[in-house]
Structure 1
Amino acid sequence: MASKTLQDLFIHSLSDVYSAEKQLTRALPKMARASKNANLRAAFETHLEETRGQIERIDQAVESCGIKLKRIKCVAMEGLVEEGQEQIEDFEEGPIRDAALIAAAQKVEHYEIATYGTLATLADQLGFKEASKLLLETLAEEKTTDEKLTQLAKLEVSKEAQAAAA
């Protein structure tokens, strides 16, 4: 039976991002190991811990709403993770791979930013105030991670990549 309510959309979207975050907990350690830049490696490791906290927040949101998640696989994240894995395989360890990993990670962050923004709005519209607050907290973390990656790219990795290419 096809879903038809705003709450159905909320549950589906929350289930989808839950799957996305679980996939990310498996991908981030691989990205960290593939990074040559110590600050990039640390950023991936830090985001792994944040991601675990975000999964806990989703569980709290689900509980506060009195809903049940569906067992689905986020195909968007599956593709983004696969793309990151291709970057690891296609580039030798070093600053060029690090630049590619940042690009892959920022695609993930932008996907998550869009998703959590939508989820927070849906939660608010449905009257799920506690869930909205939790989702906005995660949205803020995702935006911060994206900004940290941008700064890392600008201040370190791009310069290292340019020097390696010279």
Structure 2
Amino acid sequence: MGLFTKDIKTMDDLFVHQLQDIYYAEQQLVKALPKMAEKATDKQLKQGFLTHLDETKTHVQRLEQVFQMHGAEVKAVDCPAIDGIIKEANQTAGEVADKSVLDAALINAAQAAEHYEIVRYGSLIAWAKQLGRNDCAALLQKTLDEEKATDKKLNALAESKINLRAAS
């Protein structure tokens, strides 16, 4: 199902489609985060990726709950956006020889994924409320709060030492 296909006719259809999209994205990040942690040389960054991996596994479980609460089939649809973000991160990481610069590149890739998730969860929350599903919105809000917190931590880590180290 493509984004603007005949299969999406109602706000409910759009809500379920975007749930399926972010469900796929979160599953892909569960696979990508251990690899990012393995490549990271800064101990705090490495630990941050592993901590967020645990959170991401919880995000997958919450999405499964939202599907069930909404009476929709738990299903993923391909998300070219997250696939592109992960592919670009892998390509960039493969091209960086300086480990300090690699850490900066990894943070950038992680923040690209976080920003994508923040946009998706924000829309899903608004749509859930519009559909009268405050129960779904509340669960999605927990995940959005965690995604924003992760982005903030990554930004602080980048600005406090990773980018400085990479630039020197």
On the 8 A contact 1:117/1:139 being kept in 2, the answer is yes
Q: Deviations over 1:1-53 (max 9, x none)?
A: 53200000000000000000000011001100000000000110011000000
Amino acid at match of 1:35: A
1:160, distance to aligned residue in structure 2 (A):
1.2
Amino acid at match of 1:44: F
Cα root mean square deviation, aligned: 1.1
Instruction: Specify the alignment match of 2:145 in structure 1.
Output: 140
Identify the range of structure 1 (139-148 vs 58-67) with the bigger mean alpha-carbon deviation: 58-67
Asked whether 1:27 is paired with 2:35, we answer: no
Identify the range of structure 1 (65-74 vs 29-38) with the bigger mean alpha-carbon deviation: 65-74
Q: Deviations over 1:86-128 (max 9, x none)?
A: 1220102511000011111111100000000000011111111
**How many residue pairs align between the two structures?**
163
1:71, distance to aligned residue in structure 2 (A):
3.9
Map residues 27-106 of structure 1 onto 2, 5 A cutoff: 27-92=32-97, 94-106=99-111
On the 8 A contact 1:34/1:93 being kept in 2, the answer is no
Instruction: Specify the alignment match of 1:110 in structure 2.
Output: 115
CA distance in structure 2 between the aligned counterparts of 1:4 and 1:103, rounded to whole angstroms? 36
Map residues 3-22 of structure 1 onto 2, 5 A cutoff: 3-22=8-27
On the 8 A contact 2:23/2:63 being kept in 1, the answer is yes
Q: Under a length normalisation based on structure 1, what TM-score does the superposition of the two structures give?
A: 0.95
| Unaligned residue ranges in structure 2 (runs of 5+) | 1-5
On the 8 A contact 1:17/1:74 being kept in 2, the answer is yes
Instruction: Specify the alignment match of 1:150 in structure 2.
Output: 155
1:63, distance to aligned residue in structure 2 (A):
1.2
